[in-house]
Amino acid sequence: MKYAVIGSPIDHSLSPVMHNANFKALGLEHDYEALNVDPSNFDSIKEIINEKNLSGFNVTIPHKEHIIPFLDDIDEQSKTVGAVNTVLISDNKWIGYNTDGIGYVEGLKTVYPDLANAYILILGAGGASKGITNELMKHVNPKITVANRTLSRFDNWQMDINKIGLEEAEKALSEFDIIINTTPVGMNNNKDLVINLDNLAPHTLVSDIVYIPFKTPILKAAEGKGNPIQNGLDMFVNQGAESFKIWTDLTPNYEVMKDTVLNHL
Ligand code: ATR
């Protein structure tokens, strides 16, 4: 069977090496490739994919929203987030899923098992935040707090959460057990922190969905204070593992997937 990831640019994607290593570890003769689909060609996506005879594919930037009109059905998580990262092709039907949120939460559970009782602050209110929040709400009892620079961004959020600004988040920081940065602040050599960590409690886990760079400035600052940290590598590996489960109903070799990504960073 054949699988792929579509995006643009896609050259640096680690999904092919990660999935192919998993296929090999499980003795499967499947193949996974990266397909650069320019946004100007997206109207032809059905032809592009059908020609490849794929059984499923991942979708990454900038196509996670563009793909939706081409799908025959989509799951609840994708509907809530308004974005799809996994497509299963079955009997010529295209079914959309979003494994980013569950991928993040599966990774978080490995470093913070008592999620049910955690007070969680999420920084940013874009698509990534929405997916993570929606998935976390299935696991966490206390109301989740989401902080964003622009409060109007919450206008289309239907979820039962606390919505605050970044200054309020800074003041209330000590109340949280887990802080999750979903903003791009700290990527691309940006040294800024999205909020200052002056009020961080000593036990609080600080997490970022980014893994390149491996330690974003907010993770470095938290680590410097002696706090536990987690970067976005587990989220990346787990979203892929969840896609694989959707496509094959098999259990992936998570360790091989993670080691392969680590070796290619
Ligand atoms: P994604 O799909 O990755 O979540 P997105 O939908 O573009 O990306 O959302 C980016 C998030 O990062 C938003 O919450 C954005 O805040 P605004 O709604 O105020 O734009 C946040 N963000 C981006 N740059 C930021 C910055 N310099 N400071 C604070 N927040 C920032």
Based on the fold, state whether residues 135 and 223 are members of the same structural domain: yes
pLDDT at 172: 98
Domain that holds residue 141: 101-231
Say yes or no: 106 and 220 in one domain: yes
Q: Residues 108, 84: one domain?
A: no
Residue 47 and residue 64 in one domain: yes
* CATH number for the domain harbouring residue 71: 3.40.50.10860
- CA 3 to CA 54: how far, in whole Å? 5
Assess whether 10 and 121 both reside in one domain.
no
**Can you give the pLDDT at residue 189?**
79
The verdict on whether residue 175 carries a ligand-binding annotation is no
Residue 180 is part of a domain; what is its CATH number?
3.40.50.720
Are 253 and 186 within one domain? no
Confidence (pLDDT) at 77:
95
- Looking at residue 127, its amino acid is G
| Cis peptide bond upstream of 62, omega within 30 | yes
Pocket residues for ligand 1 (CB within 6 Å)?
124-129, 148-150, 153, 182-185, 194
Based on the domain organization, do 175 and 192 belong to the same domain?
Answer: yes
Q: Are residues 167 and 221 in the same domain?
A: yes
Same domain, 34 and 75: yes
pLDDT tens digit at each of 265 positions of the chain: 999 999 999 999 999 999 999 999 999 999 999 999 999 999 999 999 999 999 999 999 999 999 999 999 999 999 999 999 999 999 999 999 999 999 999 999 999 999 999 999 999 999 999 999 999 999 999 999 999 999 999 998 999 999 999 999 999 999 999 999 999 998 887 888 999 999 999 999 999 999 999 999 999 999 999 999 999 999 999 999 999 999 999 999 999 999 999 999 9
DSSP calls for 6-32: EESS-TT--HHHHHHHHHHHTT---EE
43 labelled binding-site residue: no
| Pair 238, 211 in one domain | no
Q: Active-site residue 64, yes or no? A: yes
> Do residues 188 and 241 share a domain?
no
Question: What pLDDT, on a 0 to 100 scale, did the predictor assign at position 7?
Answer: 97
Domain count, the chain: 2
Q: What is the pLDDT of residue 148?
A: 98
| DSSP assignment letter at 144 | P
Q: Choose the catalytic residue: 46, 52, 64, 258.
A: 64
Q: Which residues is 121 bridged to in the sheet? A: 145, 179
Q: Is 167 annotated as a binding residue?
A: no
CA of 148 to the centre of ligand 1 (A): 8
Provide the greatest CA pair distance for the chain. 55
Q: Which atom of ligand 1 is nearest to the CA of 153?
A: 18
242 and 211 in a common domain: no
